[in-house]
Chain A
Amino acid sequence: MIKGRCWKFGDDVNTDVIHPPEFFSLDANIVRLGLFHGFDPEIQPQLRRGDIIIAGRNFGCGSSRETCVRSLLLNGIGAIVAVDFARIFYRSATNNGLLCIMPEDPEALSVIRNGETVEISLGTSAILTESGDRICLQPIEPFVQCILRAGGLLSFLDPDVSNKSVQKSQNLIV
């Protein structure tokens, strides 16, 4: 169960909007401060752990700079719900254990109001809004689930993994 306050965005939110290049750094604090800075510098200081990004189509298109995903994680973003995602972003988020989910009905996210608190239940594969709307989610691909459950792709490189499905995938790798 993930419960958090929603920040709504539109279609085609690109990586330069998510995290401007000037905040590219090896210093985690600089990376953290850059989130959505060009788009609206007021957003980042207001973020709270567990906040949820709601977006339209093609979230994360553009660059492969993983500082985008790092910044979202450093700011405690709990999940991103979008109609769909750009592929590099989706991979990088998944690889780093950041949950990206998509609604069954592309129009369904329109009932969510900016700033409202919603609950995401992966068990029932649905989002519950404050006003009682229920948004069904697309199932998460099994291997993507496996990566998320393991806590990220690099867990597959760990010599001592207890999770069975990770072990199975690991057998393919080692």
Chain B
Amino acid sequence: MSRTFSDKVIDRHALGEFSDTIQRVKLSAVVGHDATIALIVDEFYRRNLSIWDPERVLFSNDHFSPPATAERADVSNKFLAFARECHIKHLLIDRGIFNQLLIEHRLCQPGDLIVGADSHTIMGGALGACATGMGSTDILFALATGTTWLHRPRTIKVVFKGKMCRDCSGRDVVLDLLRRFGERGANYRSLEFHDNSDEGLSIDDRCAIAGMAVEMGAKFGVFIPDEITADFCQGRDGERPPELLRPDDDAVYEDVIEVNLTNIGPLVAKPYTPANVSPISEINTEVITTALIGSCAGGRLSDLRDAAEVLDGRRVHPHVRLVVIPASVKVLRDALQEGCLEKLLQAGAVLNQPSCGPCGGIDKGVLGANDVCVSTSTRNYRGRMGHWNSRTYLASARTVALAALAGQIDRGLYSV
């Protein structure tokens, strides 16, 4: 009794104790991508290791997809050769960002314990999986043993109530959390999201919230699985998840926070940290050169839909480049079918291949010294998206589209 959600998930996967505070756990799945897996290939071969269970591994080449330089092509080829030689069951080539692909894949189930070689693996929490990002050495160990070591985290319960306003999305909700917690307010914690909102948050909104939990330092950012989760899994897998695990009613939390969605308006994170949050109504005007709708934080169907609604029949400001990168090929195809991509292209957007793009400063769309960008991507740390002097604001897809029209970020974006 008195167990939080992450306590229960860890209990179910516990294998023993390395010390009083550190647990050894077995993993439900391990995920990785080209950039971070390529780093461990030589070591893996040198030690003559094998993958503990290739059926429980999902790899995607999302960082260099397709590669832009000869060096990255070599990285990509090394990764692909390794994945094929190890018979990785779920090797998804040029299909999109792995965090998104994990959500779209039946490998990710409520109650699972998943680790991945990318900090935004935490997004699996949208479906009620305790998922967390780790470095390459941890992932090598996890691939070889199917286990890892972890501290049992303290848990902060976050209860969503009320009704999200029409202009807002999950991105605004997570920016509100970043405003409350700051960059380290949830360090090492499990953020347990209880969705008691009037209409229930969509899986897309939950992804936006869970994925950015890492920007507050969280180990897990996990939604308690509910009927919305079950319906999503039913649609994806053709069957309901075997079980919807819940925390005990008398679970002990470090803190309990209520978030009334009704009170949240459009928010923006100013340079140079995702926690530098301000209501759009209080922002100082700054002319922009670039707008990005993409990344695992903001390239989903609902994001493209919101942007298309804003841009329908209008033209992006002539001094702004609007880059659109769907988070996965599925998102791209759904957006094509729905017609929202057509609206974005008519408005002047440039479309890139589903991948991480310029979010990590590595692929098409990176920023120069004088660029100012408004973006749905994950982080606006100094230098992350390109030149050290470039500046990035983080916001929802709707806000990005409005700024792309106006050619600037300003407090009046929503009053036009």
Contact = CB atoms under 8 A, between A and B. Distances in A.
B71 A62 contact: no
Interface stretch (A89-97, A105-113, A124-132): A89-97
Interface in A11-38: 12, 14-17, 20-22, 24-27, 38
A52 interface: no
Given A21-B361, A58-B187, A61-B184, A173 B24 contact: yes
Given A16-B381, A20-B361, A154-B47, A142 B36 contact: no
B381 A154 contact: no
A114 B382 CA distance: 23
Contacts of A86: 184, 187, 217
Contacts of B134: 64, 88, 91-92
A92 to B, nearest CB: 3
B18 A172 contact: yes
A28 to B, nearest CB: 11
A68 to B, nearest CB: 9
A77 interface: no
Contact of A12 (B119, B149, B273): B273
Interface residues of B, number: 50
B135 A141 contact: no
Determine the interface band of chain A, counting residues with CB < 8 A from chain B.
Answer: 35 or more
A3 interface: no
Contacts of A8: none
B68 interface: no
A88 B119 contact: yes
Contacts of B149: 143
B135 A62 contact: no
Contacts of A92: 134-138
Contacts of B38: 26
Contacts of A149: none
Given A16-B383, A142-B19, A96 B24 contact: no
A66 interface: yes
Contacts of A88: 119, 133-135
B39 A61 contact: no
A69 B16 CA distance: 28
A24 B362 contact: yes
Contact of B36 (A21, A66, A152): A66
Interface in B134-153: 134-138, 140-141, 144-145, 147, 149
Nearest to B35: A24
A86 B133 CA distance: 12
A138 interface: no
A57 to B, nearest CB: 6
A25 B63 CA distance: 13
Interface in A58-80: 58, 61-67, 69-70
Contacts of A38: 382-383, 388
B368 interface: no
Contacts of B71: 25-27
Contacts of A154: 43, 47, 137, 140-141
A169 interface: yes
B20 interface: yes
B208 to A, nearest CB: 18
A62 B214 CA distance: 8
Contacts of B138: 91-92, 95, 153
B305 interface: no
Interface in B38-76: 38-39, 43, 47, 49, 71, 74-75
Contacts of A27: 71
Nearest to B150: A91
A49 interface: no
B49 A12 contact: no
B373 to A, nearest CB: 15
Contacts of A62: 119, 379, 381
A141 B23 CA distance: 12
A84 interface: yes
B188 A87 contact: yes
Interface string B238-251: 00000000000000
A157 interface: yes
B192 interface: no
B307 interface: no
B415 interface: no
21 contacts: A16-B361, A16-B379, A24-B362, A26-B38, A26-B71, A26-B74, A26-B75, A27-B71, A38-B388, A58-B217, A61-B217, A62-B119, A64-B134, A65-B36, A88-B134, A91-B134, A153-B137, A157-B47, A169-B18, A172-B18, A173-B145
- Name the 3 nearest CB pairs between A and B, nearest first: A92-B135, A38-B383, A21-B361
